[in-house]
Copies of this chain bind each other. A is one copy, B any other.
Amino acid sequence: MILIVKPGSTKKDLDKLLNELHGQNFKTHLSIGDNTTIVGLVGDTSLLDVNEMRANPMIMDVKRVSEPYKRANRKFNNTDTVIDINGIKIGGGYFGVIAGPCSVESEKQILLIAENIKKSGANILRGGAFKPRTSPYAFQGLEGKGIEYLEKAKGKYNLPIITEIMDISDIDCFTNVDIIQVGARNMQNFRLLKKLGKQNKPILLKRGLSSTIEELLMSAEYIMSEGNNNVILCERGIRTFETSTRNTLDISAVPVLKKLTHLPVVVDPSHSGGRAYLVPALSKAAIAAGADGIMIEVHNNPPKALSDGAQSLTMEEFDTLMVTLRKYVELEKKVISINK
């Protein structure tokens, strides 16, 4: 960490600052220029808060040099994390294909979709039961009932299931869920993250609409700091000024994250674009950029979907798309593991 000293500070002030820092067990290196004096701080600065340091009247500005996350940091653990979900693997050369409807709507619906996406080559079934909706007047999901239907599909088609949690008080419903999803709007619901850190099942953590890559990693760190290292990161589009897409898929986040962390990175092309016609191009781009998996919304009848129909593929469209995607996965020398 670099501290830039306020111009006009006296020698005495500076000594006082240095003494304080030494008292906190930091070593310091001083660099005195004509206009600017800089203090380099050596030691474990991950516990320091940049904003607190700035409050010191001696300090004009603070610049962080090393990342504030540790467990998620590739620097301290250079082996790709491979998440194993009952035999289905994601990360380290294994590519996950998560597919299913935005919302579970009925037992019949989810069984039909599960059967079809499995045939097409998906290896994990998604479906929303607890739905975060902008409007209190919109369909809020089948809740516990929805998860029951997912479990039936899981049993019948041997597909691990993933669904979103909105409140830790619902955790009992998630006993047979294989991956718990944290949605974009809850990425900084720190109390929820901490509690999920005490679960021993994989967490798929979606990036918030306006969260930086570093903040996403800090949220992963919340989960990991409680002991759960099975975190999958998910890029799902950020909010920008552009309105021709629902969100702006930050495709660069994939190679940036692969460099900074050993955790697997999945892309959600459905929420990023918000329109079904964009899903093929964005899915291919995600694979080509190095993603460890994709998460695609597939519906038996998109125009009648109870949520997010505009961005859902039909089961036929998904089947056709998978033919192409497999070629891209192969070109990246990755494997889609399948449970028979």
Contact = CB atoms under 8 A, between A and B. Distances in A.
A56 interface: yes
Interface stretch (A80-88, A112-120, A307-315): A307-315
A224 to B, nearest CB: 9
Contacts of A214: 244
The majority secondary structure among interface residues of chain A is: mixed
Interface stretch (A61-69, A121-129, A152-160, A172-180): A61-69
Copies of this chain per assembly:
4
A40 B33 CA distance: 9
Bin chain A's interface residue count: 35 or more
Nearest to A34: B42
A290 interface: yes
Contact of A285 (B221, B251, B309): B251
B65 A36 contact: yes
Interface of A: 2, 4, 7, 27, 29-36, 38, 40, 42-43, 46-47, 49, 51-57, 61, 63, 65-66, 68, 75, 132-138, 166-169, 185-186, 188-192, 194, 208-210, 212-215, 218, 221-222, 225-226, 238-246, 248-256, 259, 272-278, 281-282, 284-290, 302-303, 305-312, 327-328, 331
